Homo-oligomer: A and B are copies of this chain.
Amino acid sequence: MNNKVDCDIRESLDKVSSRMRRDYSESLRELNLYVGQDNLLYRLWREDGITQMQLCDHLKCEPPTVTNMVKSLEQNGFIQRKRDEQDARVMRIYLTDKGRALEQPVDAKWKHQQEKLLHSISPEERLVLRELMMRMERNLF
């Protein structure tokens, strides 16, 4: 009986997150960005010139994924790659003006998407929800 609830939670989680990703992805296309690239840029808006390895850590993905994302972002002129002077193995990623200019529009789209997700949920409920989400997170890591 309880199993049904559990199933619904997992299915709902999948549905919500894939739908969010899809909607947000579509919205980002207006900025000539692909979903995920906004997250990479986000790290650079916080700290410009970090290495690909650091991006891996933050994005929680594997090195080849960063290589590809960075390549695409560079081709579109949002970032620039420079080899580190001290350590010739590492690549440092720097924002271009075009990349910096995306911060506000991306933030607006992010907030809009977020509001769509949560709009029927009260502040008190959001606290409860966050607490439960955090516990699921801890269960997985």
Chain B residue nearest in CB terms to A3? B111
The answer to whether the Cβ of A126 comes within 8 Å of any Cβ in the partner chain is yes
The answer to whether the Cβ of A101 comes within 8 Å of any Cβ in the partner chain is no
A residues near B (Cβ < 8 Å) are 2, 5-10, 12-20, 23, 60, 110, 113-121, 123, 125-130, 132-141
Q: Can you name 12 extra interface pairs (CB under 8 A) apart from A5-B130, A9-B114, A117-B140?
A: A5-B123, A9-B117, A9-B118, A9-B130, A10-B110, A13-B13, A13-B117, A13-B133, A16-B140, A125-B132, A128-B132, A132-B132
Chain B residues closer than 8 Å to A5, beta-carbon distance: 123, 126-127, 130
Chain B residues closer than 8 Å to A119, beta-carbon distance: 139
Stoichiometry, copies per complex:
2
CB of B139 within 8 A of CB of A8, answer no
Q: How distant is A83 from chain B, measured CB to nearest CB, in Å?
A: 30
Chain B residues closer than 8 Å to A118, beta-carbon distance: 6, 9, 136, 139
- Bound complex: CA A79 to CA B20 (Å): 31
Q: How distant is A58 from chain B, measured CB to nearest CB, in Å?
A: 12
Chain B residues closer than 8 Å to A7, beta-carbon distance: 114
